[in-house]
Amino acid sequence: MPVGHFLGGIAALIWDEATDCYLLLRRAAHKDVGAGHWECVTGRVDQGESYEEALHREVREEIGVPAQIQFIIGTTHFYRGPVCPENELLGVFYACAIADPTAVTFSPEHDQMRWIPAPDIPTFLPDAHWLRPVIARAELIRQHFPEELRRAFRHNEF
């Protein structure tokens, strides 16, 4: 395996409880992969870094604020570029919150951001968009997973 090959990826789906909106970011036109597509915070896990460390680093790099993990939405199999083993990443989707949604800034990686209400996601994102089922699952977990258990997860109180 080549030195520096990335094996893991993260995605942080940022949700604002007060407005019931999700933060979506549009990849900048100059990006080599996914230019012009809407996404949440995503990134690779650097060598020697845990998934949670990567999540916190990527959120700070991409939107300039710290995030609090609410729960794990699920796992995934990412491809970055052409479908081949060298471009594969196994990843974790995290549901996250931030203290002040108005403090979000975005990096040069993105050229636009929007807070989209949960009910508007199906009309905002195309039918086959990878984020639609992720957001639907996050909504299902929020509706059916007791707040006490989500709070325990956030504070490692198992």
Q: What is the mean pLDDT of residues 57-70?
A: 96
Q: Is residue 1 part of a domain?
A: no
More confident residue, 154 or 20: 20
Phi-psi domain of 116 (left: phi exceeds 0; alpha: psi -120 through 50; beta: other): beta
| 60 closest CA partner among 41, 73, 47, 74 | 41
Tokens for 18, please give them. 């007060």
Domain encompassing residue 22: 8-153
pLDDT at 93 (0 to 100) = 96
Q: What is the CATH number of the domain that holds 84?
A: 3.90.79.10
Q: Is residue 111 part of a domain?
A: yes
Q: Is residue 2 part of a domain?
A: no
| 57 closest CA partner among 73, 41, 71, 72 | 41
Kindly list the distances between the CA atom of residue 116 and the CA atoms of 13, 23, 81, 131, in Å, as whole numbers in the listed order: 12, 6, 27, 12
What is the tally of structural domains in the chain? Answer: 1
More confident residue, 3 or 145: 145
Give the E-state strand segments of the chain in sequence order. 8-16, 21-27, 38-39, 41-44, 68-79, 88-97, 110-117
Q: Is residue 124 part of a domain?
A: yes
The predicted-structure confidence for 103-143, as pLDDT tens digits, reads as follows 999 899 899 999 999 999 999 999 999 999 999 999 999 88
Entry pTM: 0.85
Q: What is the mean pLDDT of residues 33-56?
A: 90
Helix, strand, or coil (residue 69): strand
